[in-house]
Amino acid sequence: MSLLRQQGPALAPSSPAPAEPLGVRAVGGKSGRRTSGLSARARHRGMGLLLIAPFTLLFLAFLVAPLAYAFWLSLRTSTLVGGDHFSWFANYKQTFTDPQFLSGVRRVVVFGVVQIPVMLVLALLGALIVDEVTSRLAKVFRMTLFMPYAVPAVIGALMWGFLYSPTFGPVNSLSHALGLGKVDLLSHGLMLTSLGNIVTWQWTGYNMIVLYAALQGLPREVYEAAKLDGAGQIQTALRIKIPMISSALVLTLMFTIIGTLQFFTEPRVLEPTASQVISPDYTPNLYAYNLAFQYSEFNYSAAISFSLGAVVFIGSYFFLFATRKRSGLK
């Protein structure tokens, strides 16, 4: 009793604190969570903008601004008599009626029709062989084919220009030693073949590595199932491997077409050696370069460059659109 009497005041119910209105507390808590959520989202957004700011500045400074300036140049015409004036799309109209530009386009198309299939077939064969062989020889073969891609295009063209030279090149000396007479690989009839050999030598390894990486991503269980069904290596390659890497094939084909339409480095390097064959308008890119930096026709050169870029973009889009169902690319 005495103990209860001593603890009595402590166990007595305390007077209730003034209750906070329920509505005010609920609204205050929700507002607090919303405020903290907005602040976190704003911080993330600000951090993202801060991280992409350097790339955005470089993109605008070194791609968008030069393109905008070049397009502005292509809409103007500058002559000694008429001065510099705004001519709208007159340069573009002249581009698509210029026989020198159209001649270069036809030459590049003929070059691509022959060279692109040869290079991609070689790259596909190399990728299938490397994928099939698992010994150390495969690594050596893969590195050997990929090595020309590591050589700068200018160096590769210079090296082949030395080999092709009709005066001091070893190919011509070997032809003489074998009694085959003079073989001028830089002549009119063999120039496209010689250029195609340089491009094939340099880019086959790159395309092979892309196709080999696609083959490495295929499930090995499919091969085992085909082997159990009695399929040989050639049947497995033709009916399983190649159809399953069709997206990679389409991708390499598209990159190769774009690179071919922008054909410039190899003819530019060989131009001094074979100046009677490689004219200033040998390819559209070479024509635009010579117009700008030899004849100072910057306006017309910009129009040719934009016209070629538009052809490449539209052609690539329609090519992807036509092959999207088969390749799986979007």
List Cβ neighbours of 206 (8 Å cut-off, separation of 6 or more). 146, 149
CB 242 within 8 A of CB 236: no
List Cβ neighbours of 156 (8 Å cut-off, separation of 6 or more). 148, 198, 201, 202
Mean per-residue pLDDT, 79-103: 89
Place of tokens 């969570």: 33
When comparing pLDDT for 23 and 152, which is higher?
152
Tokens in use for 117?
């299939």
When comparing pLDDT for 37 and 91, which is higher?
91
Residue type at position 183:
V
Question: According to the model, what pLDDT value does residue 134 have?
Answer: 72
Question: According to the model, what pLDDT value does residue 26 have?
Answer: 46
Over residues 168-203, the pLDDT tens digits come to 788 888 887 887 777 888 888 899 999 999 999 999
Q: For 286-300, give one letter per residue: b (16+ CB within 10 A) or e.
A: bbbbbbbeeeebbbb
Q: Residue 10: pLDDT band by 50, 70, 90 thresholds?
A: very low
CA atoms within 13 A of residue 264's CA, in its CB half-sphere: 13
List Cβ neighbours of 267 (8 Å cut-off, separation of 6 or more). 195, 278, 282, 283, 286
When comparing pLDDT for 1 and 126, which is higher?
126
pLDDT over 70 at 120, yes or no:
yes
φ, ψ dihedrals at 212, nearest 5°: -65, -40
**% of the chain at pLDDT higher than 90:** 41
3-state secondary structure of 152: coil
Question: According to the model, what pLDDT value does residue 33 have?
Answer: 55
pLDDT over 90 at 14, yes or no:
no
Mean per-residue pLDDT, 74-85: 85
Q: Residue 13: pLDDT band by 50, 70, 90 thresholds?
A: very low
